[in-house]
Amino acid sequence: MKLFFSPTSPYVRKVMITAHEVGLADKIEMLGSAAHPVNRDRTIIAQNPLGQVPTLIADDGTVIADSRVICAYLNDLAKGSVFPADPKARLQAEIDQALGDGILGAALILRYEVAVRPEALRWPDWISGQWDKIFTTLAHFEAHAPEGRADIGAITLASALSYLDLRFPEYDWRRTHPKLAAWYAGFEKQPSMVATVLKG
């Protein structure tokens, strides 16, 4: 398998955490790329018209886009437990995945506002709205941390928190969310987390 990646992409990290958890990390060849929302990487587009990372090319040539789909594919391929077999547990894991992806989506928008959009075109209310989405979802997880789990919900949440640390270190989410901070402090010690630290 081959994976188009960026070393700072939280969605790529989510995929690679999953790959480590299900024992497939050493089966994936990493393909460097220059994914960008404006200056789009034509090498990725040749495989995935969205031009986004992560993009996985399976051994049979199937091109798989979107971290949710890639993670489910890897889990099924390895008969893993990142997506629980129990329907109720799987539903909760996927609900938490959607919420974690919501944090990531808002954080990426905020990152693009600073790194890509010209200052004159920035809209403060839009920025505030994205931060509020992050605040309210972190408050939810403060009350409902995925204790004792290493499923796709926990993986996505951990990926989101690590991205906040990388891109917004001035936002001390641990100070206002001590229970979530305690959960993350334990989760980030897992080998799959240690092996996939974001660099950038």
Higher pLDDT, 49 or 192: 192
For the chain, list the domains and their CATH numbers. 2-78 (3.40.30.10), 87-191 (1.20.1050.10)
Calculate mean pLDDT across residues 142-160: 97
pLDDT greater at residue 59 or residue 119 = 59
Q: Please state, in angstroms and rounded to a whole number, the distance separating the CA atoms of residues 166 and 29.
A: 24
Report residue 42's pLDDT band, with 50, 70 and 90 as the boundaries.
confident
Residue 4 has pLDDT above 70, yes or no: yes
Cα–Cα distance, 12 to 149 (Å, whole number)? 20
pLDDT mean across residues, the chain? 94
Round to whole Å and give the CA distance between 127 and 38: 19
Is 41 a residue whose pLDDT tops 90?
Answer: no
pLDDT at 177: 98
Report whether pLDDT(32) > 80: no
How far CA 131 is from CA of 8, 63, 108, 156, 186, in Å, comes to 20, 33, 11, 18, 25
Phi-psi region of 108 (alpha: psi -120 to 50; beta: other; left: phi over 0): alpha
128 vs 139: CA distance, rounded Å = 16
Question: What pLDDT score was predicted for residue 115?
Answer: 83
pLDDT reported for residue 36: 67
Q: Kindly tell me if the per-residue pLDDT of 91 is higher than 80.
A: yes
Q: What single letter denotes the amino acid at residue 184?
A: Y
In the predicted structure, residue 165 carries a pLDDT above the cut 90: yes
CA–CA separation, 131 and 64 (whole Å): 30
Contact in structure between 160 and 103 (CB atoms under 8 Å): yes
Look-up of token digits 């129990």: 86
Tally of helices (H runs) and strands (E runs) in the chain:
9, 4
- What's the whole-number mean pLDDT along residues 142-154? 97
